[in-house]
Amino acid sequence: MAPAGVGAPSGSRLADRVFHLLCLAGALTVGLLLLLVLWELIKGSHLSMKTFGWKFFISKTWDPNAGVDGAYGALPFIYGTIVTSIIALVIAVPLSIGTAIYLTDLAPMWLRQPLTSIIEMLAAVPSVIWGLWGIFVLVPVLRTDVYPVLQKILGFLPFFEGPILGVGLLTAGTIVAIMILPIVTSVSREVLRSVPNLQREAAYALGATRWEVTRIAVLSYARRGLMGAAVLGLGRALGETMAVTMVIGNAPNISLSLFDSGDTLASVIANQFPEASGVMLSSLFELGLVLLGVTILVNILAQIMIHALTTAETRRVA
């Protein structure tokens, strides 16, 4: 930090210090927010934790009328969150990586920026609008045209048995997939772009075809970063609320059938929080705490994986 100058009045030294502290305070709000949200959620969950203890995480019940204050458990929502997130990843990650390959190595130069901008526009569409479209366009189409066909072909698997409602786990997973496409694509693209051209040239010089160059020189090199992109997408998928709550059916089920309705941590909070009180409210806080904890862990993992790519590069130069 540069001194204020020999002839500067001592007032400005004070001003400098005050300003420095103000900025420091601003930076520390990041830590403050994190601690604050953890603290308040733990505080809010206290009643629920006292009432249900560890059983909360394996209990399937969600009934305001049971017992004295109602009986609540997290399992259906944990299940729903995991299932919809996995479906979203299975659909979105291959599409995103394929698109990233196209944008990095295959697309003509004039097409790359417009295409990237379109994908950015996709990211700007709010969740509630995807939910709106989901209810009135996607669900009917899936219910009448797609799911019956799916059931006919794959109905022998337990995942595709049972009544077709239109809303449900698979629908919610599909919409979440659409919503995480932009971020997984853009991070994947950054990762692929950071693969040194020299690697590609090495493969070309051996007489590799275009795809072989991508496979050998690019995808292998970028493996860890691409996984980081997928984990980042997972982090996003875990927290999707509005679109999910509008098309998932909102029933605390644990069902193997993907056509069945379900619920996720975020969507049950969205549905029941406004009118909740007492033990139920506290249980919702506890669900929020689970959601927060898992999301933070997943995001930390993603950051580590994506940044590991840069350290691998610097290691090579030796």
274-293 binders of another protein (CB under 8 A): 274, 285, 288, 291-292
User: Among residue numbers 10 through 39, which ones bind another protein (CB under 8 A)?
Assistant: 12-13, 15-16, 18-20, 22-31, 33-34, 36-37
Distance CA 172, CA 84 (A): 6
Interacting stretch for another protein, rule CB under 8 A, among 46-54, 61-69, 70-78, 113-121?
A: 113-121
Q: How far is the CB of 164 from another protein (least distance, A)?
A: 21
**For another protein, which residue of 67, 201, 256, 278 counts as binding (CB under 8 A)?**
201
Tell which one of 48, 99, 151, 282 touches another protein (CB under 8 A): 99
Residues 6+ apart with CB under 8 A from 311: none
Integer Cα distance of 115 and 140 in angstroms: 30
User: According to CB under 8 A, which one of 67, 120, 145, 153 is a site residue for another protein?
Assistant: 120
**Which CB, 164 or 294, lies closer to another protein?**
294
Nearer to another protein, 63 or 212 (CB): 212
Contacts of 11 (CB under 8 A, 6+ apart): none
Q: By CB under 8 A, is residue 58 in contact with another protein?
A: no
Total binding residues for another protein by CB under 8 A?
A: 117
Single out the residue of 73, 76, 131, 262 in contact with another protein (rule: CB under 8 A). Answer: 131
- Which of the stretches 66-74, 155-163, 193-201, 252-260 binds another protein when contact is defined by CB under 8 A? 193-201
Residue 81 interacting with another protein (CB under 8 A): no
Alpha-carbon distance of 141 to 52, in angstroms, equals 42
